Amino acid sequence: MDTRQVVLGVDIGGTNTKFGLVDRQGRCLAAASIGTESHHPAERFFGRLQEASRQLLGSLAGDRVLAGIGIGAANANFYKGTIEHPPNLDWDYVDIRAEVRKLSPVPVAVTNDANAAALGEMLFGAAQGMSDFIVITLGTGLGSGIVANGELVYGADGFAGEIGHTTVFPDGRLCGCGRRGCLETYASATGLCRTVHELFCNTNTPSELRGVSFEKMTSKMVYESALREDPIALEAFSVTGRILGMKLADSVAYLSPEAIIVSGGLAAAGDLILEPTRRSLEQHVFPIFRGKTRLLATRLAGGNPAVLGAGALIWNVLEKGPKTPGTGRGAGPDFPGSPEAAPRPDAL
């Protein structure tokens, strides 16, 4: 492999898009961000991204070569290279692969942010050397990426890995997706705040959070209250972990992963969330799996996990070749030129 090669990892978020140049060792050599501005057409966004990436690549020392572009975004589809009805963007449908191909001839791969996170952990993080594991991202919602037999599971349509939308309690909390009782209505930043309010209703326990409105409350506030040993905040973390652990016992029954790796904003709460989750997982898991699956915190947290994940996505594609996982469900990632023919810095 040409050691000068780097890839561009891009994480398209609702407000900002982060991107960085990632080498094969998982080092983010340079990173920057631009506003996503999805109220403008997507074409304009990709033009700005090209311009900013070109500057970033020019800023690197040495004679670096761009080998590929990996892009993570909500509701992105690996097989089709599209974003479809993203919940956090004004664009309804974007053919990302086609947009990038207008601007650059290097290989492009696209997937959702949680799948990118899983590949990031596999190549650079806590899942190195594992071939069966699950990554859970606890943010506004709950995303997940599943790796089995060393391959990311995309499913028949490219959208597999929606553990956040499995049912905990039939007829439970209404979810943004229209269903009831989805795991992400309990185990996520917003789920935590909902649980705080449920505890307000169901107990008389005093709490410094009782003065905060539903609208204003954030998981960060709950975290900070928990650090001050606010009983409701502590209990909310405990309940959240209990429910998450119970459902991760289901995940183990499905996939018997070597580890479940927790990342995302809420994972920053560390053992406040991990300890009750771990206890509940062990309590609820099918006996033959007891003591087998490790619950780990992300090892990408120090860096730029979403950018590293998107970088891992395209590194993984470059190494395993352009084959489509599964059969006959779309063209898979684009290989307009081989990595060897990758353009010099000024081509992106």
Per CB under 8 A, residues contacting a copy of itself are 75, 84-85, 129-132, 146, 148-151, 153-163, 165-170, 177-179, 246-247, 249-251, 253-258, 284, 286-289, 292-293, 325-327
- Structure-block tokens of residue 69: 């572009």
Beta carbon nearer to a copy of itself, 59 or 131: 131
- Tell me how far, at minimum, the Cβ of 154 lies from a copy of itself, in Å: 8
Nearest to 56 by CA among 36, 32, 34, 72: 32
- Tell me how far, at minimum, the Cβ of 282 lies from a copy of itself, in Å: 12
Asked if 245 and 283 count as a contact pair (C-beta separation under 8 A), the reply is: yes
- Tell me how far, at minimum, the Cβ of 27 lies from a copy of itself, in Å: 25
Beta carbon nearer to a copy of itself, 62 or 129: 129
Beta carbon nearer to a copy of itself, 230 or 250: 250
Beta carbon nearer to a copy of itself, 37 or 151: 151
- Tell me how far, at minimum, the Cβ of 332 lies from a copy of itself, in Å: 12
- Tell me how far, at minimum, the Cβ of 45 lies from a copy of itself, in Å: 23
Q: Specify burial of residue 320 (Cβ count, 10 A radius: 0-12, 13-18, 19+).
A: exposed
Q: What is the dihedral of CA 176, 249, 172, 224, to 10 degrees?
A: -70
Question: Any idea what DSSP says for residue 26?
Answer: S
For the chain, report the end-to-end CA distance as a whole number of angstroms: 21
Establish how many alpha carbons lie within 13 A of residue 34's alpha carbon, considering only the half-sphere containing its beta carbon.
18
**Cα–Cα separations (whole angstroms), residue 252 to 39, 133, 183, 239, 296:** 41, 9, 15, 20, 14
- Tell me how far, at minimum, the Cβ of 251 lies from a copy of itself, in Å: 8
Separation of alpha carbons 103 and 43, rounded Å:
10
Beta carbon nearer to a copy of itself, 178 or 211: 178
- Structure-block tokens of residue 244: 């998450």
Beta carbon nearer to a copy of itself, 148 or 297: 148
